[in-house]
Structure 1
Amino acid sequence: MKLTHTRLRPAAAGLAAVLALVVTGCSGAPNSGLGGGRSAAHLKLSPATAPADEPRSTVTWMLEDEPDSLDLDTRGSSAGRTVLTNVCERLYQLRPDMSVKPWLVSRESRPDPRTLVLSLRKGVTFHDGSPLTADDVLWSLKRHAAEDMEQADEFENVRKLAKTGAHQITITFKKPDALFRQALAGDAGLVYRRTQVEKAGKEFGTPGQPDACSGPYTLKNWKSGDSITIERYDGYWGRKPLTRRLVFHWASDSALVNALTTGAADGVYAGSPNTAAALYGKKGLAQHYGPSTAALTLIPTERGGLADPKVRRAVSLALDRRGIARSGYGGMVEPWASSIGSGAWGYDRPVFAAAQRALRAYAPASPDADDLTRAKKLVKEADRAPDEPVVIGTDASQGRTVVANALRAALQRVGLKGRIKTVPTAQFEEFYSSPQARADIDVLVADWYISKSDPLGFYDNALSRSSNNWVGFRDASYDATVRKALSTLDDGKRARLAVRAQHTFAKQAVWIPVAQVPSVLVLNDRLTGPPASMAYLYYPWAADLGGKGKGKAKSKGGGNSKGGADAPSSPATKG
């Protein structure tokens, strides 16, 4: 998965207006709803919905955009992944609980820390009926690794890719790589039929071209500007999906909300908290909340208004995160003490959960008198407290506007001044990639998520040479800890190193956390089965979709398929 550092889809202005109605209790929103004081902290996060047991002929699903391409090597997008993850398979699979398991790999071994040997599952066929071979796997990996492909950076530590048996691939690394298995559960692990891709050439992934994949569904039709249809692949090696056909349509803002509320569509993975808030409490719809790596955060910039770590720590102590969650996002986000959501805890969850709780000392949900006293003292002790107003960069969306105003209020609480700079959304997006665009702001009201369910996929942002280390944080010990962790294959040892890095990151307030953003599945209340977690971007969620039977059991959060490398079913949970 290349999207180790990325952002959430910006909240649309139209949905912000709808959200405002929800927050004020209008437009039929129940008084007990999220806008009425309930918070995401009270929403139970579960990776999976209850298992389905009734077949369905056709289900209509909504996307927030039409995919640019279904070739994720060249033009990856969330919309494209949401469709294609049901059609194409990966060597490893992100499960609904955000753990990673072998999938098209039947067995893995490590003769030494720099070598990963993959034994491939037998009996798998592509949608044209041809067998999946080691040659196809090797070719796919080399395609992903090509310099101009989106996954190329995942292979920077790979020394050699080789076919070492009829059903075996061996990967040799320059140094041990703890996150490469996770990459193979993302777009770097997609397996294509070589001859089909080469035949399509530059047209691969466009309307009218075959999918060249082996998943539980096959790409039936893509009507550009209208819809994408996928149908169950009867030759699939795993469990037969209950739903025969899915038709994807796309819309944004009120049109998407209307499609769900009128019954014209059956489900959507809500890409922004505002979408979820607008659909909350609607008759005939159920909302399911799952773990995600996404978070709202404040990123100090090169300009220097927040260059002093004591000033950043003071601002973090004075920020009213609970107020932001209620006023800006209808209660659909949870005050959070780190800049990465709990979906990143793909292993050793108790360790990361305990560490997260300890971070509240640096980032309280709502500041009390003691927090504000500490914050004011830090400002007085700072060597570089700003004399001029701290410039806060944002766009005009509902949520970010609330965050920006809350940040200005936090600055005022500690004796500093803030000024909000609001720009159009297109210009706002430039802040993430352009130092020149950031030249006039001291801090960005941001959102961020990582594709890997490992906190290290986030904490490398603060390495001294990272392009995302805008504020210029430098700490040789931090760099050494992160780099050691990235080469540590033992999960327990790596978790302890990650927690150590996390503590330094939080203590220095390299970024200032605001809230975690749950994954939200909105589903016709007669349907069930798909994962609720963020895994839907990489897990074949439609293979678990179906109708509810009588006496439906509650979700246990683990998905339908049996765990392990040899699980005979299609993915049952996202993750």
Structure 2
Amino acid sequence: MRWSGSVVMLVVALLLTASCAPAQRVDLGDSSGNLIAAIAGEPDQLDPQKTSSYFSFEVLENVFDTIVEPDENLEMRPALAESWTVSPDQLTWTFRLRGGVTFHDGSPFTADDVVYSYRRIIDEKLSNVDKFSAITDVTAPDDRTVVITVARPTPNLLTNLGGFKGMAIVSRANVESGEIATHPVGTGPFAFVSQRSGDSIVLTANRTYWGGRPKIPGVTYQFISEPSTALSALQAGEVDWTDAVPPQRVTQLEEDDSVHLAVTPSNDYWYLALNEARAPWNDVRVRRAIAFGIDRDAIVQATSYGTAAANQLAIPKGNPWYIGYDRYRYDIGEAKRLLAEAGAAPTTMDMLVTNEYPETVTAAQVIADNLAPLGIEVKIRTVDMATWLDEQNTGNFDMLMMGWLGNIDPDDFYYAQHHTNGANNAQKFSDPQVDRLLDAGRVQTARDARADDYAKAATLIADGVSYVYLYNPSVIQAWNPRLTGYDARRDGAIRFRSAALDGTDGR
């Protein structure tokens, strides 16, 4: 069929207009009207108190609540607790809970649920149990009152209770039935509906949510491990939101009106950890050699394309707890000198990374090139996230790379990772002076003195190469411009409770 020149010009004009316009929503068989969110990996499990996977938290933060929570400035605000008081000696915290809150199965939320949740973390030594180290008792004088007593002043107690990782309030019945593993029940803005392994998780709006019912009918999380695929799906209107954005596309996306791009400096950091339970990595001189043998700038460019900032400590510039540190540089000569001084000549290194965080795979390839002049062959072992966690926990690695996400208080950046008894000290670092400083930081109520404790501890941690810190990333997310009421947060928390999407109605 032959088209006239005017028709061809009209079609071209329409195509050009469409390329600059927000993508129209494509119906792929999901008639729910849910917000479709593409995340880069599948949750390793659905129990919020047991998981340490960010993919799990992306979903479960919308299903569960904490008693307090951070606002956009990371200051703690009321959540399931509407108010609280602290005794003059700083040892008794009394929380007044909201009335009329129910779990998704209709059962009432009471103070007993808070006591049960916290006792479960403490008694079973679950994820982040170290955040309860000062707590001596948790009681419920009545259905709406929780009293927490501590052995010493605990200036970061609210942050410990409000940072979502591991602190969700769970239903005792849901836990004891075992159903929390397959059908978690919380009090949050969305209720769990279903999971298709390897594909998706579906949530539905909690219409009786204490914070007001959501404006969208629900959220469907699609697991799309390849960032370019997730971005293409967003641009095609097949998904509404994603945090799987290729950093090399950021500059281009800044000029693309079809998506809303957010690049937000974060409190997260990426690091390398050497297994100090194995020789020769138990020698600090060998670890320092690796620190000098790593080209951070090359890693940042390869993984983040200029969207991240290289750093030799955990806490980024702009954070009130930041301190400068620049002991290490890319210096193969110094690395060789340190290895010779230690009498060490490692020839291979088993490096554990996961394809669910592509940054780790990319960085591993740079690191392999960096360490080759030292005579070290880096054997990159790429596994799924669940296997990565198992291998980390059993110490089956020479070196691993990962990020620490959702940090707020300085204790979040250092204690669990570097205290001898820290719950996440997989590298087996131990320094009595660091322990003393981190313990002191947990009880020091004077801001300046507390900052001094953490500055000294951070310096010793870096000097001892408990971690080889690499960089602080940005939170990079993109969504359809028709999605409103949502903001990218510095702590990486994904909250869809206030989100709205044209053409949907949570009612």
Map 1:60-139 → 2, pairs under 5 A: 60-67=36-43, 69-73=45-49, 77-111=53-87, 112-127=89-104, 132-139=109-116
CA distances 1:94-144 after superposition (whole Å, capped 9, x unpaired):
333333333222222222333222122345444566654323333333344
Map 1:414-563 → 2, pairs under 5 A: 416-425=374-383, 431-435=391-395, 437-438=396-397, 441=398, 444-460=399-415, 461-466=417-422, 474-533=430-489, 535-537=491-493, 541-546=495-500
Contact 1:333 1:518 (8 Å CA) reproduced: yes
Equivalent in the alignment of 1:181: 158
Equivalent in the alignment of 2:138: 161
- Counterpart residue type for residue 321 of structure 2: F
- Which residue of the other structure, out of 297, 301, 304, is the alignment partner of 1:322? 297
Alpha-carbon separation, structure 1, partners of 2:64 and 2:131: 19
How many Å apart are 1:449 and its aligned residue? 0.7
Map 1:49-60 → 2, pairs under 5 A: 58-60=34-36
- Counterpart residue type for residue 377 of structure 2: R
Equivalent in the alignment of 1:376: 334
Equivalent in the alignment of 1:295: 269
Contact 1:310 1:378 (8 Å CA) reproduced: no
Distance 1:474 1:523, change over 3 A: same
- Which residue of the other structure, out of 228, 247, 259, is the alignment partner of 2:233? 259
Equivalent in the alignment of 1:245: 218
How many Å apart are 1:498 and its aligned residue? 1.1
Consecutive unaligned residues of structure 1, counting only runs of 5 or more, are 1-55, 549-575
Alpha-carbon separation, structure 2, partners of 1:67 and 1:388: 36
Matched, 1:386 2:344: yes
- Counterpart residue type for residue 379 of structure 1: R
Alpha-carbon separation, structure 2, partners of 1:67 and 1:258: 22
RMSD: 3.9
TM-score, normalising length: structure 2: 0.75
Distance 1:462 1:202, change over 3 A: closer
Secondary structure of the 1:237 match is coil
Contact 1:100 1:182 (8 Å CA) reproduced: yes
Equivalent in the alignment of 1:222: 194
Alpha-carbon separation, structure 2, partners of 1:498 and 1:362: 18
Alpha-carbon separation, structure 2, partners of 1:468 and 1:58: 36
Equivalent in the alignment of 1:362: 327
Alpha-carbon separation, structure 1, partners of 2:85 and 2:69: 17
- Counterpart residue type for residue 297 of structure 1: Y
- Counterpart residue type for residue 514 of structure 1: L
CA distances 1:148-167 after superposition (whole Å, capped 9, x unpaired):
75465544543211113452
Matched, 1:236 2:213: no
Distance 1:238 1:490, change over 3 A: farther
Equivalent in the alignment of 1:24: none
Alpha-carbon separation, structure 2, partners of 1:201 and 1:387: 53
CA distances 1:187-228 after superposition (whole Å, capped 9, x unpaired):
55433455x637x82224535x7x342x33344x32544654
- Counterpart residue type for residue 455 of structure 1: P
How many Å apart are 1:384 and its aligned residue? 1.3
CA distances 1:356-377 after superposition (whole Å, capped 9, x unpaired):
xx21x2245xx5xxxx59x639
How many Å apart are 1:264 and its aligned residue? 0.7
TM-score, normalising length: structure 1: 0.67
Alpha-carbon separation, structure 2, partners of 1:287 and 1:90: 29
Alpha-carbon separation, structure 1, partners of 2:71 and 2:259: 25
Contact 2:270 2:469 (8 Å CA) reproduced: yes
Consecutive unaligned residues of structure 2, counting only runs of 5 or more, are 1-31, 503-507
